Structure 1
Amino acid sequence: MTQPLTVAVQMDPLDSINIAGDSSFALMLSAQARGHRLFHYAAEDLNYADGRVWARAHPVTVQRVDGDHFTFGEAVNLDLGDEADVVLMRQDPPFDLGYITATHLLERIADRTLVVNDPASVRNAPEKVWVLDFARFMPPTLVTRSLDEARAFLAKHGAIVVKPLHGNGGKAIFKVDSDGANLSALIEVFNMTWREPHMIQAFLPGVAQGDKRIVLVDGEVAGAINRLPGEGEIRSNLAVGGSAVKTELTAREEEICAALKPELKRRGLIFVGIDVIGGEWLTEINVTSPTGIVAIDRFNGTDTAGMIWDAIERRVGAMKKG
């Protein structure tokens, strides 16, 4: 049994979460069961002065009772470098300047306090950008703001999918059929909405058979679920009406996970979720606030939150010895 840790959880408001499926809440329950002390704060509560990073944080206890799932104590100024052992960076994207600034502030304490996932690595590995390092496992992909490039890609590959480069949760994902209807209007809207380029990929008919979420803990496969799109949908994210079913990994998916493992460990990316379509096409590497562990454990009888805390406790022990 490890010594009790002080754990600061940087996340969205607790009253807004769905405790039945929320991975952050599952991690908090697991930490509390191990005797760790929990604090909650939002990214906007971070402060810096004189080399210190602190947050106005509430001590919190949690329980699996819908509508009465957390109790706050009186807020304190928690020094994240000196008074916390672990910071869980679990607020949802968008991966905007507020998110990036939080990683810069937390990076200043990462030599003393374990930040999960490592803030510099999170900043340098946005979901749909870092995955390009593993392009050999990806479907044909174009990153652009150019309508002409999008048209040429469509002509080469037939039906395509257009999505924001820093989107999340299955939002704003559009299929454009081979006739290109509405492609120009769609690129126009995307260019007006986002300053960065957009991601365009060849449409994979295999998405009808599901989009697999595989969770890796410190580089090791913890489990997976297959997310099936709802009626009339190409998106299989649970947040937009997809449904989860039990699944196993294909040989190709095992190959993908093996290729990722050393880089995840090197970068301090302890809790990662990857998305694979049709058993073979890697589309995202989720490092900011990965989800899916509650559904995985429900189907497989596993304890993924416990695996994550085992990895965290090992890392904290190594830091304190070092």
Structure 2
Amino acid sequence: MNICFLMYPWEEIDPENDTSLALIHECIRRGHGVGLCTPANLTIRNSVTNAFCTVLNRMEKIPVNLKTFYKQVKLREEMLPLAGFDVIFMRGNPPLDPIMLNFLDSVKDDVFIVNSIQGLREANNKLYTAAFGDSHSNIIPATHVSKNKNYLIKQIRESEADKMILKPLNGFGGSGVILIEKSAMSNIKSLLDFYITNSDGSSNYVILQDYIEGADKGDIRILLLNGEPIGAMRRIPGTEDHRSNVSAGGTIAKHTLSKEEKALCKQIGPKLVNDGLYFVGIDVIGGKLVEVNVMSPGGITYMNKVYKTKLQKQVIDFVESRVLDKLQAFDRRSRLRSEVDNA
């Protein structure tokens, strides 16, 4: 099997904690061919979508340690057709590049893509979370999304809570997430100006959410594979930052899913799978769904450390099974078509 990881550059990988590297390592360990490319390396040659790929050479002895593997693996550069891969694993950081998806549209019927193109289009920003909330559901905190500063200020003033969370619509890794308090209303307008208005006159959407009690103690990252939870961890904020993201100084601890969290996963799992979102990370606070991460959900390496497991094996098992199903369906169709042709 040949797998293309469409992601950030090899040089930007954190060899100790990178989920993408754990997945790549597992693929190499199983003997699969692996190539990497960034969105900027996609190209069309003679009407065929190609990529300038960084290809990992096969290794006779594969180091068990990720950091050692990262240092020892040999790379080469090749231009390769994307339709020649069995799998394209989407691992790019937000924001989503719509041009990249346009390139991939030409191969989406030939290659199994994790996560699907249509799913990424629908779920690449924080608006997707709102799809799980309605008048009969209470799994997301009260959420407002707008560019209208007066409207947002009104919502803050009318909120029964003393605190709310403000974040950019296209942020990731905890970037730009701030805690605002009614006692500091004099600063709110300048904050909204900073978040919404760009220097060129354009504007950005921001998200305003009710603060969930207990958020100061951290959140729960849950990884879902094909709609089912495969791992979870508690992320605890550092002493100098309210964000619980590890990239923002947070720490991690073991976590056993509560009955409420299991019910949440069961409720949203079918929609994720239906949208082609097979490998997803969700963030939960107090039983409320805060974010759905579909582009490059992380956490595998951290969960592996605290639970002494290897979650990447489950992910690649799933990918292999889907590719096998696709190949068997193709073989069956070819065989049946041959019968008809020879009748």
| 1:213-233 alpha-carbon deviations (Å, 9 max, x no partner) | 000011111010100011132
Pairing of 1:1-322 with structure 2 (within 5 A)? 5-61=1-57, 64-65=66-67, 68=71, 70-73=73-76, 75-81=77-83, 83-95=84-96, 99-135=97-133, 136-157=138-159, 158-179=162-183, 180-193=185-198, 195-278=203-286, 280-322=287-329
Name the CA distance, whole Å, in 1 between partners of 2:244 and 2:43. Answer: 38
| 1:84-115 alpha-carbon deviations (Å, 9 max, x no partner) | 111111121123xxx22112211221111111
Question: When the two structures are superposed, what TM-score results if normalisation uses the length of structure 1?
Answer: 0.92
Q: How many Å apart are 1:195 and its aligned residue?
A: 2.7
The answer to whether the Cα contact below 8 Å between 1:6 and 1:37 also exists between their aligned partners in 2 is yes
Q: Which amino acid is 2:91 matched to?
A: R
Q: 1:239 to 1:253 in 2, by over 3 A?
A: same
Q: Which amino acid is 1:131 matched to?
A: T
The answer to whether the Cα contact below 8 Å between 1:163 and 1:173 also exists between their aligned partners in 2 is yes
Unpaired runs of at least 5, structure 1:
none
Q: 1:28 to 1:147 in 2, by over 3 A?
A: same
| 1:152-180 alpha-carbon deviations (Å, 9 max, x no partner) | 21122231111000100111111111122
Q: Which amino acid is 2:182 matched to?
A: S
Q: Which amino acid is 2:269 matched to?
A: K
Q: How many residues align?
A: 312
The answer to whether the Cα contact below 8 Å between 1:127 and 1:284 also exists between their aligned partners in 2 is no
Name the CA distance, whole Å, in 1 between partners of 2:106 and 2:122. Answer: 16
Question: When the two structures are superposed, what TM-score results if normalisation uses the length of structure 2?
Answer: 0.87
Q: Which amino acid is 2:106 matched to?
A: R
Q: How many Å apart are 1:301 and its aligned residue?
A: 2.6
Name the CA distance, whole Å, in 2 between partners of 1:70 and 1:154. Answer: 52
RMSD of the alignment, in Å? Answer: 1.6
Deviates more, 1:168-177 or 1:298-307: 298-307
Q: Which amino acid is 1:236 matched to?
A: S
Q: Which amino acid is 2:38 matched to?
A: A
Q: How many Å apart are 1:69 and its aligned residue?
A: 5.0
Unpaired runs of at least 5, structure 2:
330-343
The answer to whether the Cα contact below 8 Å between 1:104 and 1:119 also exists between their aligned partners in 2 is no
Runs of 4+ in 1 over 4 A off after TM superposition: none
Name the CA distance, whole Å, in 2 between partners of 1:266 and 1:176. Answer: 36
The answer to whether the Cα contact below 8 Å between 2:197 and 2:204 also exists between their aligned partners in 1 is no
Q: Which amino acid is 1:77 matched to?
A: M
Name the CA distance, whole Å, in 1 between partners of 2:293 and 2:280. Answer: 6
Q: How many Å apart are 1:202 and its aligned residue?
A: 1.3
Q: 1:69 to 1:199 in 2, by over 3 A?
A: farther
The answer to whether the Cα contact below 8 Å between 1:219 and 1:265 also exists between their aligned partners in 2 is yes
The answer to whether the Cα contact below 8 Å between 1:14 and 1:70 also exists between their aligned partners in 2 is no
Q: 1:25 to 1:11 in 2, by over 3 A?
A: same
What SS does structure 2 have at the residue aligned with 1:201? Answer: strand
Q: Percent identity?
A: 28
Name the CA distance, whole Å, in 2 between partners of 1:126 and 1:8. Answer: 20
Q: Which amino acid is 2:324 matched to?
A: G
Q: Highest CA radius of gyration, 1 or 2? A: 2
The answer to whether the Cα contact below 8 Å between 2:241 and 2:248 also exists between their aligned partners in 1 is no
The answer to whether the Cα contact below 8 Å between 1:128 and 1:166 also exists between their aligned partners in 2 is yes
Name the CA distance, whole Å, in 2 between partners of 1:210 and 1:174. Answer: 14
The answer to whether the Cα contact below 8 Å between 2:118 and 2:276 also exists between their aligned partners in 1 is no
Q: How many Å apart are 1:51 and its aligned residue?
A: 4.4
Q: Which amino acid is 1:15 matched to?
A: E
